[in-house]
Amino acid sequence: MTIIPLPSARVFMPLLAAALLAGCATVPPEAGFPDVQRHLAGRVAQHVAWNRDSAADAQAAQAVTDLLARPLTADGAVQVALLNNPALQATYEDLGVAQADLVQAGLLRNPVLSLISAFPTRGQEPPKLDFSVVANFLDLLWLPARQKVATDRFAQVKLDVSAEVVDLAAETRAAYLRHQAAAQTAKALAEMTALAQASYDLVARLAQAGNVNERRLATEQAALEEARIEQAEAEGEAVATRETLTRLMGVWGAQAAWTVADTLPPVPPDEPDLATVETAVIQGNLKLAAARQAVAAKAASLGLTDASRLWSDISIGVAGERETDRSWLLGPSLDLALPLFDQGQPAVAKATAEYRQEARRAQQLAVDLRSQAREARDRLVRAHDLARHYRETVIPLQQRIVRLGMAEYNFMLTSPFEVLTARQAESAAYRRYIAAVRDYWLAAGDLMRLSGGTPLSPTQPTTTQPGGPS
């Protein structure tokens, strides 16, 4: 080893300076959440907040309490879920993980200090001391490429988190509508049960007078029991849909005693223009945008793997040795991993397969989204037409039949059984109308979810709905 003057160690100062500067990196506390909020602007009308044990968390908790203290609207239920759902809050932590990975990608590995001390077994010579300080030279070379991979991955995570927010908002709105429809249906079926009870009571009185036979009485009783079963099933559905909404809102205890209006909003009078629904979904869907970003991240990772496959570990530094006369030998050191056995082909093949896999997944997602958009569009159109038909034709006709039957009954031109049967038919038509309205709004919500939160159909009621059974 050649003795060199100590000042020549300045050749290593750029590497040491870069290491020191990289070591000063910190993890931003917001972790990309402002970017998520920007993604959601115009897609989700409600406020989103990340619970990180700050003063703002108390404000969010108070907002949830205030919303639950009065009858919930669909927008109110969505707001509670976005502020209070624990699973969504856990998803936000993905931002912190990805942000930390991005900061980590910009750091150099710590230099390695090696010390060797050798003690002579004879004589009075002082201990011999060797040292070396080395750092991976390729860290500097591949630093921009690593940061590019981590940046793409961070962008993907922000899109994934934004998509989760849109999905939760859509799921909560759909659960709210299902609960509204179930409660409204249970109310209609309770009225049908009351009608069936009135019919049975009338037949029972006639049977006691000997005016009807036992078979007719048994038939009426069977109809009453069937009505009771349907009412019980509807009430069970109302309870189940309520609990689904409770879980999505993340509430429990006293907060679970929330209430909602039991009437669905009516469908708009006109059909929305859905000619470009597929294009809107492909352009607006955040999951597809995240999938495309994942493809870009895999492409960047493949490029880094291919470029670094031969020379993955080259360390340079300074080494010193103290001689027995207490003088020092100083000089540069080089550690080089020779690519004799592993030349990186498996790593490149794996990265290539992962890239192709991600690209195919993005392609399949686009195919699925187009199909789901067409399906939701068709469901929306059918439900709109069906609900309008019930509202404008079927229910008014059934109401007219009931009015005419009552008039005839008042003049003793028809039996009370025919009037009760007409009212039951009216109630059944109204129940089917409720189902059609529910299906319309669920399809509209699916379209909004598929398009990343961008509304593709009217979302505000513009007409009044028919009343319940007369």
Domain harbouring 296, CATH code: 1.20.1600.10
Residue 77 lies in a domain: no
**Residue (of 387, 385, 391, 85) closest to 251 by Cα position:** 85
How confident is the model over 269-277, as a mean pLDDT? 79
Residue 237 lies in a domain: no
Residue 55 lies in a domain: no
Strand partners, 322: 129, 328
**pLDDT score recorded for residue 461:** 44
**pLDDT score recorded for residue 325:** 66
pTM: 0.82
Residue 303 lies in a domain: yes
The more confident residue out of 53 and 206 is: 206
326 burial level (CB within 10 Å; 0-12, 13-18, 19+): exposed
Residue labelled with tokens 């939160």: 453
Cβ neighbors of 238 (< 8 A, separation 6 or more) are 179, 182, 183, 185, 186
Query: How far does CA 25 lie from the centroid of its chain?
Result: 32
How confident is the model over 110-119, as a mean pLDDT? 79
The domain of 442 spans 264-309+345-470
Q: Taking 50 as the threshold, does the pLDDT of residue 2 lie above it?
A: no
Q: Pick the range with the lowest mean pLDDT from 220-234, 245-259, 405-419, 452-466.
A: 452-466
Residue 142 lies in a domain: no
Q: How many angstroms separate the CA atoms of 233 and 227, rounded?
A: 10
Residue 179 lies in a domain: no
Q: How many angstroms separate the CA atoms of 462 and 269, rounded?
A: 7
Of the ranges 131-145, 211-225, 387-401, the best mean pLDDT one? 387-401
Question: Is the CB of residue 134 less than 8 Å from the CB of residue 317?
Answer: yes
Q: Pick the range with the lowest mean pLDDT from 310-324, 369-383, 385-399, 443-457.
A: 310-324
Convert the pLDDT of each residue in 4-18 to its tens digit: 333 344 444 444 454
How confident is the model over 39-61, as a mean pLDDT? 89
Of the ranges 9-13, 341-345, 355-359, the best mean pLDDT one? 355-359
Residue 106 lies in a domain: no
Show the beta-strand stretches assigned E in 206-327: 314-322
**pLDDT score recorded for residue 131:** 74
Number of residues that make up the chain? 470
Question: Is the CB of residue 365 less than 8 Å from the CB of residue 163?
Answer: no
**pLDDT score recorded for residue 6:** 37
Helix segments in 69-136, DSSP class H:
74-84, 86-105
Q: Taking 70 as the threshold, does the pLDDT of residue 200 lie above it?
A: yes
**pLDDT score recorded for residue 470:** 53
Q: How many angstroms separate the CA atoms of 266 and 384, rounded?
A: 10
As a whole-number percent, the residues of the chain with pLDDT over 90 amount to 51
Helix (H) or strand (E) holding 238: helix 214-249
Q: How many angstroms separate the CA atoms of 168 and 416, rounded?
A: 50
For residue 336, report the phi and psi dihedrals to the nearest 5 degrees. -130, 125
What is the domain count for the chain?
1
The more confident residue out of 345 and 369 is: 369
Residue 408 lies in a domain: yes
Task: Give ∠ CA 183-188-193 in degrees, rounded to 5.
Answer: 120
Q: In this structure, which amino acid lies at residue 319?
A: A
**pLDDT score recorded for residue 5:** 39
Q: Taking 60 as the threshold, does the pLDDT of residue 210 lie above it?
A: yes
